[in-house]
Every structure is written in C-alpha cells, then in structure tokens.
Structure 1
Amino acid sequence: MTYFAPGPLSIWGAYNKHSWLPQILPACSELPCLLRAVAPFRDTATLIYLECFSSGIIPDLSHREQRHTRAKYDRSSTPLCDLIMATSTTMTQVQNIPWFTALWTLPLLYLVAKIVYNIYFHPLAKFPGPFFAKFTSIYPMMSMVRMNRIRWQHEMLEKYGSPVRVGTNELYFSDMKSWQDIYGQSSNPCPKEKVFYDMFTATGAVSILNERNKAAHARLRRLVSHAFSLKGLLQDEPMIHQKVKTLLDVVFAPAAATKEPVDIFHKLLDHYLDITTYLSFGQSFDCVSGKGTLNHDDLDAFMQTVPLQAFFPPLRRVPLKKIQDAYKALDRLIKFAEKSVKDFYDKIEKNGDDYARGTFLRNLADAVDPETGSKLTGPELVENSILFLVAGSDTTAVTSLYTIWEIGRRPDVRKKLLDEIRTTFPDPKHEPTYEETTELEYLNACIEETLRIWGPLSAGFPRVSPGKTIGDHFIPAGVQVATPAYVTCRDPKVFPNPTEYIPERWLNATSDMKNMSRPFSYGPRNCIGKHLADIGLHLTLTRLYQLYDIEIDPSMTDAMMVQKDRGVSAPWDEKLIVRPTFVHEGIGS
C-alpha cells in the first residue's frame, strides 16, 4: 500500500486507489469511539497529513523506520494492520519534530480543524451557498465595496434558493414567512445586528434607527410617532407646496422656456432635503434656490464617513484631503443641527408657548413618553433629526427619479397618468392638496411599482436569530439573518414578469403582493417616515405632471440608471437628463 506519494499531486491517485479508512471503520466494532467519530471525514484528515508530508511541509525524520515498516507490512497486510502501521509511523514522526516546527504547525492544524468544522459540523453546514462562504464572510463585504449588494443578494437566492448561506454565520431568506419571523412582532424577536446598526450615528448619541434595546427603542418610537403621524405632518403641507413651487421655478420652468435639457438628479435631492431640513430643524437648507449655507454634499458626508468609521475608528485622523473634507462637511452638518435645535428652543421661549405649535419639530420637542414620562434629550433630538435628513431626503428623491424615468420611457404609462392628473385637475392655477392626490389611483400604482422595482432601501437589513424557526428551518442563536426586499419584490410566482414596470398590477393588488413588496421594511421597527415620503411624492409628482410634459433625453441609457448601492440605491451615473415643456404656455408653477 502506498502511504507516502512522491509528489503533492500524486497523493490523490494513491487516495483513490487505496481508500481504506471507509472500508474498515464500519466493520471494526473494536475501534475506539474517537475513530468512529471521525468517520464523516472519510480520509480527509489522513489526506491533509499526507499532502503536507509529500509537499515537504512536515519533514520526514524517520526514513529508517519507514523502510523497516514497509518491509514488515506488504500489500497482503490487512486493513487494520495498515491502519496500525500508519498511526505508528505518524506518532513516531510527531515525536521527532523539533519544537519550533511543532509550534509553526499549530496554526495550520487549527486552520485545518476550523475548515473541517465549518464544512461538516457547523450548524449552518446543511444550507447551500458559495463554497468559500463556509470559511469567510468576504462575499457580503465585497458586494458592498462593489456597490452591487442588492443584485448580488438576488443572484445568491436565485441560484441556491432560500435560505442561502452567504457567510460563515450569515443566511439570507426570500420566502414570505421569513418577513414575519425575522422582522415581525414576536415574543422571541430577532434583534438588530450590532456592527451594522452601531455605525449609523453622527454625534455618538442613539437614534430610532440604531437603538437595539427593545424597551429603549419603544420609548423613542413613542416619542417621535406623533410627529410622523399623517395628521401631524399635514400641518406642514403649506410649506411643502412652497418647496414644490421653488423646484418648478428654479429647475423646470427655465428649461421649458429655453427648450434645453436639464439634469434633475441633484436638484431633486436638494428639493427633498429642503423639505426634511425644514421639518427637522424649523429652517430649510434652501439648497434648490442656492441661498443656503449648506448643501447636499454636507449630507452626503454622513454616508461617506460614518459607515467606514465603524470599521476603522481612527479614520478621522487619516491625513488625506478627501477624508478630511468629508469630516469637515459632517462637522458642518452637526453644528447646523445643534444650532438649529437651540435656536428653535430659544424662539419658543421668546415667542411664547404657541410658537410653531403643531409643526413637526414642535411635536418632537413637546413629545412626552406616556410610560416613562420622559422627553427627547437635546442630543437625542439632534441625532434623530440628522437621521431624518439622511433617511427622508435621498430615499424619496430616488423614488421620484425612477418614477420619472419609467414614466418618461413608456408612452402607454405616461398617457394614462397624464390623462388621470389633468382630467382631475384641469385648472393649472389650482395646487392639488395631498388628500386630493391620494385619490389618483394610477399615480398610486406608479409609485407602488417604482418602489417595488427601484426601492431605495431594498437590501436585507441584518438581524440576529435568538434561536427560533425562520421560514421552515430552525436557526440557532447568534446567526445573522436577513430578507432582502429587492429579492421578494421579484418573486415571479407573485409578480409575473417581475422585471417589467407594470403599474396596472397594483390596481387589483393581492395580499401576497403586499406581503412580498416591503419597501419600508416590516414590523415594529419598520420605516417610520412612510407618510412623509408619501406626501412629498404625491405633491411633487402631481404638480409636475399637471404643468409639464417630461421627455427623457436620448443620451440617457439603461446602464446609467442601474442602481448603485451606497446604502441608498441611486442611479449609477448620478444623473437624469430630461426635456420639460409647458402644458399651459408660461404657467410653470
């Protein structure tokens, strides 16, 4: 029997011809329990040792004993004798290895043991997925670096099914039940994953997004819920109308008058930022008009620095201009937030208790938790206000951009929508109210379909299993789990032709469609800003299409609109060039 092959490749030939371990283990009841325990490995452990030896990793220090042993045991030996011989030879070699070689070998042995454990004995070993996901979590990290996370998640679940193992301790799901099991109300909930959520803080204080303690999060949710209620937000509807007017006057009217194309990407970001800064701080950035002291780049600094800082805390001290400029912008944003909140409290004290009553910021400032009697502290108010900017402006702007993109390149959809809006609101001087716009069924369907296909936050939000059944599988405690909305929104069993933009599917939406399309997530920690996004989208899009015909510029391509996932999934080229024309000559806002 060949034990020591002459080269690193020929060992596999020896293994295939003399696979003796599987033959003797089942038959030899006298073997120790330890040997029976390694039966699932087959010849793996022996192969590793032999490969290391034949490659020179483990030195051959017992030539004489090997020759003596080979002479003593020939091919007529029994399998049990072969095993005894191999074990004896191995022990002799181990005893003769110098101590420094043994120490050098320990990390290798640990690595081998870890790999074998992850392949065969890890609690997630039974779940399919990329082979190297058994040993590393590099796949999810690389998808984030490449900014294609949502498409990669879809590819994994399409290829391997649900659930799929994408990392050593990480699973993705795509079935309907997993939404409830992971994110829904439960006596045994899946808490938020620490590393991911702890990164989202500008000032170091906690917010409604990154607070992982269940009771503390419930307190924050109660404190801000009134400000985010539909009734509370509609107190600021006149301000939103004014911001829509500014957008049309500054961006669309000049382009329509000159019949020139205009890139609306950054201006739509600025538009929704103006709305959310007013709501959050009582004063607007005035980005669209260009009169403000801050702009969208200052907000973008949050997304550039905060996530990286979570993985590399000394980042602020790295002397690179781009990094230092980003931190300067982040500092401007924090100072603006702190000053705005202080100024708002000063105005209440100066102008009396009725100042700005009923507005978003006043509702936040006045909120009292009915269970604890506490209010938002100053740092909590600043941190949550910054969060509302990040979560409430870019997401709504991206939804508007993709709605305009889809409507602009689909004549049948555009005709139905324009007929609905202009028949309902024929007078261009009438600014439709939010309540009126919600009656536009086809507009509602267009927005729903945009959120389904182009949801700005559609990657799976990571949670941690407490040890429970998710979908049809029991998932041990400590395993990271997620259900990506990007994937469930493309289930062909629920959404026929899932990649096609078909607003009509929402005119008679089924319960399965609503359960699988979750652009605002699900459960007690879902997005609290749904009403804010809905108001901004309806008022902006209705007034825009009431007064303008919007054509997509021929220079725009599908590749330019592929989503780039930087947390918020926006068009890859960060542009949308359109050609607006007046519906009523000279009436642009």
Structure 2
Amino acid sequence: MAILHQLLGAVKDVPAWKLCVYVTLLFPLYAITMGIYNTFFHPLRNFPGPKRAALSNIWYSHAWLSGKYPHKMHALHEKYGSVVRVAPNQLSFSTSSSWKDIYTNHNNRPTFRKTGFYDADKLDPETNIVREPDPAKHSQIRNMFSQSFSPKSLLEQEPIVQGYVDLLIEQIGKYGTGKDGLEIVRWYNYCTFDIVGDLAFGEGFNAVKDGKPHFWISIILDSVYAATFIYVTKRFPWLAKLIPLLIPAHMVEHRIRHLNYGRDKIKRRINSDNKRKDFLTNVLDNHRDKISDEALSSNAQIFVIGGSETTATTLSALTYFLLRNPHTYQRLVSEITSSFTSYSQITSTAAGKLEYLGAVITETLRVYPPLPVGLPRTSPGETVDGYYIPKGVAVSTSSWAAVHDPKNFHEPWAFKPERWLDGECKEKDVREASQPFSLGPRACLGRNLAIIELRLIVCKMLYTYHLELLDSKLDWVRDSTAYLLWIKPGLRVRLYRR
C-alpha cells in the first residue's frame, strides 16, 4: 500500500499532457504484451482456435454482439474440432460427453461454478435461481420453487393454462382466416406470456384477449440485450466506468421499466388475498422468512422471461418446420385428429401419449434450441471430454454446434422427428448431444410446464385448423439473430377451420 501511495503521489506531480502521452504509449504496450502472453505462454496456448480469439477478447465480443454468435461457434467447431479456444481464457465444446462433464456433478467431481456472465448488475443486484453462483445457495432457492413446478402442482394449474390456450385458439381463428393470415409468432408470445405471467404473479396481462402486446413483452428483449451488452463490457475492466455511456439509452430505460414493473407486480401478489395456487404459493406459505421481496421479484421475472420467450420460440420454430415439411405435417395432423373425437378431450395427459407429437417437439428443440449459446462455467481444475482444463478457465458446451455436428446427428440440418422414434430411426444419432434444457442441478426448472404448453397448443391448434405458410422465401435459420435469446423473423400463416 505504501508503494501505491507513493506512485499516486508521483502521478499528481506529472503534467496532464505527459500523462496522456504515457497512457497513449502504455496501452498499446500492454495490449501487445498480453497478446504475446495469450498466444505463446497462456495455459490454453495448445488448444486449437483462431489466433484472433487467442490474442484478446475483442474477437469473442464482436461475435457475441453480431447476432450470429451460434453460427460463428458452429463454424469454429467445423474447422477446429470438438474443442475450440474462443477467447484468451475460454473453451467451447460440442460433444455429448462435455454436457455431462461440465454441467453435472457425477463421480463426486468438483463443481464447475457459474462465471461472471451471470453476475448481478447495479439495476438488478439481487440473486436469483439463474444468477446465484454458490451451489448450496442455489439449491436452497431451487428447493423453494421446485414444488410449484412438480407434475402434481402443474396438473392443478392446468385449468389456467387451458383457459389461455382456448382463448388463443379462438382469437387466431378471428384474425388469421383472411387472405393475409396473421403473424403467428406474436400470438405465441401473447399466449405464453399470459400463462407464465398469471402463474408467476397471480394475474395475466390480457395480451391474448386484447390481441396486442403488453408493453412488458415489447421491452423484454431489449432488457436481455442490455444485459448481454453489459456482459461483453465486463471482459474489458477499463470499460467498466464507461458502461452507462456505451449502452443505448432506450435499452437502459426499458430495462429499468421492466424491473420496476416486476417489483410492482410482486407487491400486488404478496398483498393479494387470492387463494389460487401459483408459482409463489409454496414460497409465501412456507419460506417467507428466507427470501426478500426483491429476491422474489428477481426470481419471478426470470420465470416470466425464461418461461414465455423460450416456449414461444419453440412454438414458432415448430410451426415453421412443420409447414416446410408436408409429410411431417400430415403425419402429425393425422395422429392428433385420429386420437380425439372432440376438442374437449385434449388435455396435457392425453396429449402426452401422442408419440409422434413428442418426437416433433423434441426434434424442434434439437434443430432450433431456444437457448442457442453455451452456458459458461468455470473449471475447478478438472477434465472435460478427456482434456485437462486448468482452474479458472471458462468452458461451455455450444448447444447449437453440438446439435448440428454430423458426428452427433446424421443430416443435422434436416428436420426429422423420426430420429427420436426407436422403431424408425435407421441411423444411430448421439441423442445426448441435444440438451435444450441443460443438465444437472441447474437444469431448467420450467421444463415440465414448457412441454405441457407445447403439447396443448400444438394439439388444439392442429385439431381445429389447417395452417398455410404465406412466405415461401422465408428461411427461419438464416433470418434469425441471437442475443442470448433468439430474435425471430416474422411467420405469417393463414388458417382454415377444419
């Protein structure tokens, strides 16, 4: 400390123009020195990957903000193999075994903890089920909410889900049977947002009823993009104080509005006398002394974002791939219409028995995973896929690269639900390479709810309507961009009542 004070004292006596010269000279010198170290002396120097990625975090950050990050990771794995150095201190994997090595606690191995990617920011400083890095504390949070997502609880909440699905089926019939059809991606967002909002806060947003987006839907993606922008700037500590200047003002405003609205909704839910069960019932009844209002709000907002946007993304992709594959479409429609003699028979339990529907959903989640980026973890000094990874190195499995690797799936870009049917799969795929809900103690808590929504919406929609894709030039994969979550292209569909 004494030396530091001496240096600071000396700096005070240096003229401003000299300081500028020193900084101007030292910054390139520092960058060159670090580039040489990262390239020739860093513990990851022998891992394959582009030299630009090894030199500094600039290449990785540009890839992340380009909107094509999943595709760039896939291209790297195609060129360099199953493990790639994508940043000075970061590796990406694309094998099925890497999922297990990184994300599960098998064989009593040390935990690969979450990286700074998940750190809180000043606008939302509370921990939550996604953000909490400590395994023990994360387990406590997960246990508080896990009962709400159990099959038994979700069965009790199915009438709420059914109500919104039925309203969706009614509304798309009103708006989508004309010659111009409707933009169905929006309606999927309305429905999934209403469902998870009602279950998380005890009240919906009336998006399906009103036929227009609630303002919260409109700002969620901006809020997520702002958060990912902050993540990129964290790779350059000297930019920390400039973050408020670098993020577009409207994104910051939307993020603040998003967070404040969630806090207000939680306050209303806590003070409500509504006895109907939802995601917060168990927490408020049995764990109220263990969690603050702010933490409740932070977790509820995670449920809304994760439970609405990702499910709507899967529904949108499923619709596109079905309409691009007539044989698959006809087979699924035949299975649904032959399994029910009336609309009222369609329940999550009954829909869960439809084998081909399950295969279609699983294939959609493979070919277009709703979270297409690798979820980074910090190595404790362990092996991944047979490679020893030094302590402190960030690692992840690229969900997009893994499912589009021909070593894992034959014809990986083809939409083939049959690959998930044991009696029909002629090629041997490495099915474990597709993990859209991740693995281990941090696997998606809302998986069961998502599957229920997917089954009900697809079943009821195809039982009621025939769908026609109106844009023959649309390429769903090409026209999608990704900033942690997908920004989806439009999907205009015309409906014909059966």
Q: Same fold (TM over 0.5)?
A: yes
- 1:169 aligned residue: 89
Q: Which runs of 5+ in 1 are unaligned?
A: 1-100, 584-589
Report SS of the residue matched to 1:284. Answer: coil
> Aligned to 1:139, which of 52, 59, 82?
59
CA distance in 2, matches of 1:225, 1:335: 25
- 2:149 aligned residue: 228
Q: Is the 8 A contact 1:467 1:475 kept in 2?
A: yes
Q: Is the 8 A contact 2:200 2:278 kept in 1?
A: no
Whether 2:390 is the aligned partner of 1:476: answer: yes
Deviations 1:196-247 (A, max 9, x none): 1115786321110011012111111111111111211222111111111221
CA distance in 1, matches of 2:144, 2:469: 43
Whether 2:125 is the aligned partner of 1:204: answer: yes
> Aligned to 1:261, which of 155, 167, 181?
181
CA distance in 2, matches of 1:411, 1:489: 23
CA distance in 1, matches of 2:477, 2:382: 42
Change (3 A) 1:330 1:367: farther
> Aligned to 1:453, which of 352, 367, 371?
367
Q: Is the 8 A contact 2:222 2:255 kept in 1?
A: yes
Q: Which runs of 5+ in 2 are unaligned?
A: 1-20, 234-238
Deviations 1:10-64 (A, max 9, x none): xxxxxxxxxxxxxxxxxxxxxxxxxxxxxxxxxxxxxxxxxxxxxxxxxxxxxxx
Change (3 A) 1:391 1:314: farther
> Aligned to 2:334, which of 411, 419, 422?
419
Whether 2:358 is the aligned partner of 1:437: answer: no
Change (3 A) 1:438 1:319: closer
- 2:290 aligned residue: 375
- 1:530 aligned residue: 447
Whether 2:276 is the aligned partner of 1:362: answer: no
Deviations 1:414-433 (A, max 9, x none): 110010000001324x2511
Higher-RCO chain (CA-CA 8 Å, sequence separation at least 6): 2
- 1:345 aligned residue: 270
- 2:315 aligned residue: 400
Report SS of the residue matched to 1:215. Answer: helix
Q: Percent identity?
A: 31
Letter in structure 1 aligned against 2:189: L
Shift of 1:334: 3.0
CA distance in 1, matches of 2:360, 2:437: 16
> Aligned to 1:513, which of 417, 430, 439?
430
1:37-436 to structure 2, matched below 5 A, reads: 113-185=33-105, 186-194=108-116, 196-198=117-119, 203-256=124-177, 258-290=178-210, 294-309=215-230, 311=233, 323-324=249-250, 326-348=251-273, 355-356=275-276, 358-368=277-287, 375-428=290-343, 430-436=344-350
Change (3 A) 1:499 1:103: closer
Report SS of the residue matched to 1:227. Answer: helix
Report SS of the residue matched to 1:164. Answer: strand
Report SS of the residue matched to 1:288. Answer: helix
Q: TM-score, normalised on structure 2?
A: 0.86
Q: Is the 8 A contact 1:262 1:577 kept in 2?
A: yes
CA distance in 2, matches of 1:158, 1:330: 36
CA distance in 1, matches of 2:29, 2:121: 39
CA distance in 2, matches of 1:436, 1:103: 68
Report SS of the residue matched to 1:578. Answer: strand
Shift of 1:339: 2.8
Letter in structure 2 aligned against 1:177: S
Letter in structure 1 aligned against 2:111: P
Deviations 1:282-317 (A, max 9, x none): 001111222886441132342133333453777896
Report SS of the residue matched to 1:171. Answer: strand
- 1:546 aligned residue: 463
CA distance in 1, matches of 2:166, 2:114: 40
CA distance in 2, matches of 1:108, 1:319: 22
Q: CA RMSD in A?
A: 2.8
CA distance in 2, matches of 1:486, 1:147: 14
Change (3 A) 1:263 1:235: same
CA distance in 1, matches of 2:153, 2:89: 43
Shift of 1:112: 5.2
Change (3 A) 1:539 1:559: closer
Q: Is the 8 A contact 1:150 1:459 kept in 2?
A: yes
Q: Is the 8 A contact 1:490 1:498 kept in 2?
A: yes
CA distance in 2, matches of 1:201, 1:107: 28
CA distance in 2, matches of 1:385, 1:172: 31
Letter in structure 2 aligned against 1:459: V
Q: Is the 8 A contact 2:372 2:484 kept in 1?
A: no
CA distance in 2, matches of 1:486, 1:144: 14
Q: Is the 8 A contact 2:465 2:496 kept in 1?
A: yes
Change (3 A) 1:190 1:408: same
Change (3 A) 1:419 1:203: same
Report SS of the residue matched to 2:311. Answer: helix
- 2:13 aligned residue: none
Whether 2:402 is the aligned partner of 1:488: answer: yes
- 2:495 aligned residue: 580
Change (3 A) 1:452 1:106: closer
How many equivalent residue pairs?
466
CA distance in 2, matches of 1:252, 1:180: 44
Change (3 A) 1:314 1:385: farther
Change (3 A) 1:547 1:473: same
Q: TM-score, normalised on structure 1?
A: 0.74
Report SS of the residue matched to 2:46. Answer: coil
- 1:90 aligned residue: none
Change (3 A) 1:330 1:112: closer
Shift of 1:340: 2.5
CA distance in 2, matches of 1:515, 1:248: 34
Change (3 A) 1:516 1:347: same
CA distance in 2, matches of 1:578, 1:206: 41
- 1:26 aligned residue: none
Shift of 1:581: 0.3
Deviations 1:484-504 (A, max 9, x none): 111111232332111100001
- 1:557 aligned residue: 474
Deviations 1:365-400 (A, max 9, x none): 2243xxxx9533211111000111111111000100
Change (3 A) 1:442 1:120: same
Letter in structure 1 aligned against 2:304: L
Q: Is the 8 A contact 2:333 2:462 kept in 1?
A: yes
CA distance in 2, matches of 1:252, 1:408: 18
Change (3 A) 1:463 1:245: same
